[in-house]
Amino acid sequence: MGKINILSQETIDKIAAGEVVERPASVAKELIENSIDAGATAISVEIKGGGIEYLRITDNGVGIEKDQIPVAFLRHSTSKIKDAEDLNNVHSLGFRGEALSSISAVSKVELITKTKDNLLGASYIIEGAKEVSLSDVGAPDGTTFIIRQLFYNTPARKKFLKAESTEGSYVFDVVEHLALSHPEISFKLIINGKEKLMTSGNGSLSDTIYQIYGRQIAANILDISYEDELFSITGYIGLSVIARGNRAFEHFFVNDRYIKSNNLSRACEEGYYGFLMGHQYPFFVLNIDCIDGAVDVNVHPTKQEVRFENESKVCEILTKAINSRLRRREDVVEAKVEE
Ligand code: ADP
Ligand code: MG
C-alpha cells in the first residue's frame, strides 16, 4: 500500500467538489438555489456550449457584502445555519456551505454582486480556488455568477460529460423543476442566445405549468389538496390523455425542494390504477409540505433525496388522494354524458 499521505487542501477541495458538482446542471442547481435563498423574485439563467463553456445566473436578491465574498467561497461557510441544532428545521435550500467552494475549485468564476445598502457593488474573480481579484464596480442590486470552463483543471471529470446538447437539456430540467417549485419567482432560461423558458412569477402553479408545458398539458390537469396535522399535499395531477412513456413528468417537491423518490413515484402510480395503461406514467406536480422534524433533508450532498419520518403513511395518502381525485373527475364526466 505504501506510505500514508495527508492530502493537500487543493486535492481535498477537488475531491469534495466532485460530490456536489457533477456537471453544468449541478452548478445551475446550486447557484439558482442560492438565488432563491437570497430572496430573489427574478432569476435569469444563460448557458452556452451546454453550460460547460459558459453559465450565467443573475438574480435580484439581497447580494453579498464585499468583505464577505472571500468567506463565502471557503468550504463549510454558510450564512444559513449556525449549528447542528438548526439542521432540524432547515428553511433554506442550502445549508452545507459547499457549493461556492466546490464550483470555484473546478472552474473560472466571476461574481458581481451588490446589496441595496451599498452604493457600489463588488467584482470578484476566482479561478481553480485561487483568488484573482476583488474590486469595486457599479452594478444593479443582486448577484450575477458567471462560470466559465467547467472542469478545465480536472480533465478526468470533463471526459465524463455528455454532448453539449445533452448537458444543456439537463440544465433545462433543473430550471424547469425550480420554476415549478417556485411559481412566485420569475425564471428565464437562455440557451445559445435563444430564450427557451420563461415564467411570469405571478404565484400561480397552474399558470407556471401552462408557461412551461403549454396548453395541452394545462388543460388536462386536476388540482389536488390534502391536509392533516403532520403534512399537506397540494398541486396538480394530469389526466390519462397526457400520460407519458417515462417518469419525466412526475415532479415532487418536499418543503419546496425538488426530490426524487421511487417509493413516492410508485405510490402515485398506484393511485392511477385503472386509469393508465401499462408502461404509461402520469403527469403530476405535487408539493408535500411537512412540519419541522417530519423530514430529514440532510441525506445526500445534492439534497435530492430526503428521509420521511413516516414514509409509508405519506405513500398511502398519496395513493388515496390521487385515486379519489381521479374518480371524482370520472364521476363528473359520466354525469355530463348522461344529461
Ligand atoms: P450554502 O448555500 O449552503 O450556504 P454556498 O456555498 O452555496 O453555501 O453559499 C455560501 C454563502 O454565500 C451563502 O450562505 C450565502 O450567504 C452567500 N451567497 C451565495 N450565493 C448568493 C446569492 N446569489 N445571493 C446572496 N448571497 C449568496
Ligand atoms: Mg448554496
Write down all domains in the chain, each with its CATH number in brackets.
9-198 (3.30.565.10), 220-338 (3.30.230.10)
pLDDT at 211: 97
List, for residues 116-137, the tens digit of each pLDDT value: 999 999 999 999 999 999 999 9
Ligand 1 nearest atom to the CA of residue 61, by list position:
24
Query: How far is ligand 1, taken at its centre, from the CA of residue 100, in Å?
Result: 7
Distance CA 212, CA 164 (A): 22
Q: Can you give the pLDDT at residue 182?
A: 96
Quick count: other Cβ atoms within 10 Å of Cβ 208? 26
How, if at all, do strands 108-114 and 121-127 pair? antiparallel
Q: Give the lowest-confidence range in 71-85, 184-198, 231-245, 313-327.
A: 71-85
- For the CA of 99, the closest atom of ligand 1 is 6
Q: What are the CA-CA distances from residue 249 to residues 89, 191, 209, 236, 245 (Å)?
A: 29, 22, 11, 11, 9
- Which of 336 and 259 is assigned the larger pLDDT? 259
ipTM score of complex: 0.99
| Ligand 1 pocket residues where CB is under 6 Å | 30, 34-35, 38, 59, 61-64, 72, 77-80, 94-100, 143
Helices (H), the chain: 9-20, 24-37, 69-72, 99-105, 155-159, 164-181, 205-213, 215-218, 262-271, 311-338
Q: Which residue has the higher pLDDT, 224 or 278?
A: 224
DSSP type of residue 185: S
Ligand 1 mean position, distance from CA 306 (Å): 21
- What pLDDT sits at residue 17? 77
Nearest CA to ligand 1 atom 25: 63
Please report which ligand is nearest the Cα atom of 104.
1
Half-sphere exposure of 331 toward its Cβ, with a 13 Å CA cutoff? Answer: 6
Ligand 1 closest atom vs CA 101 = 6
Residue 307, strand partner residues: 296
Chain segment 265-276, per-residue pLDDT in tens = 999 999 999 999
Integer Cα distance of 266 and 279 in angstroms? 12
27-to-31, 63, 79, 288 alpha-carbon distances in Å:
6, 18, 19, 25
Q: Tell how strand 142-148 and strand 130-137 pair up.
A: unpaired
pLDDT at 27 over 90: yes
Whether the CB-CB separation of 144 and 111 falls below 8 Å is answered with yes
User: What is the pLDDT averaged over residues 290-295?
Assistant: 77
- Ligand sitting nearest the alpha carbon of 115: 1
